[in-house]
Amino acid sequence: MRVVLLAYTPNAERLCCAAAKLCHEKEERDFMEMYEGLSDKHVRAVLRTVLKLGHESVIEHASFTFYIEGVSRALTHQLVRHRIASYSQQSQRHVTLKNFGYVVPDSIKENEELAKRYEDVMNYLAKEYDEFLKKVPKEDARYVLPNACTTKIVVTMNARELRHFFRLRCEKSAQWEIRKLAREMLRLCKEVAPLLFEDIECED
Ligand SMILES: Cc1cc2nc3c(=O)[nH]c(=O)nc-3n(C[C@H](O)[C@H](O)[C@H](O)COP(=O)(O)OP(=O)(O)OC[C@H]3O[C@@H](n4cnc5c(N)ncnc54)[C@H](O)[C@@H]3O)c2cc1C
Which atom, in ligand 1's list, is nearest to the CA of 85?
30
**Segments making up each domain of the chain, as ranges:** 10-62+160-197, 68-150
Residue 37 half-sphere exposure toward CB, CA atoms < 13 A: 7
pLDDT at 95: 87
CATH level 3 topology of 68-150: Gyrase A; domain 2 (3.30.1360)
pLDDT at 99: 82
| Strands lying side by side in the sheet with 2-8 | 2-8, 63-72, 150-158, 85-89
Q: Annotated catalytic residue: which of 73, 142, 169, 183?
A: 169
Nearest CA to ligand 1 atom 44: 83
Ligand 1 center from residue 116 Cα (angstroms): 36
pLDDT at 203: 75
Is residue 169 annotated as a catalytic residue, yes or no?
yes
CB of 167 closer than 6 angstroms to any ligand 1 atom: no
Probe target for ligand 1 pocket from 57, 76, 78, 172, with the most ligand atoms within 8 Å of CB: 78
Q: Which residues of the chain have pLDDT under 50?
A: none
Contact residues for 171 (Cβ-Cβ < 8 A; gap 6+): 179
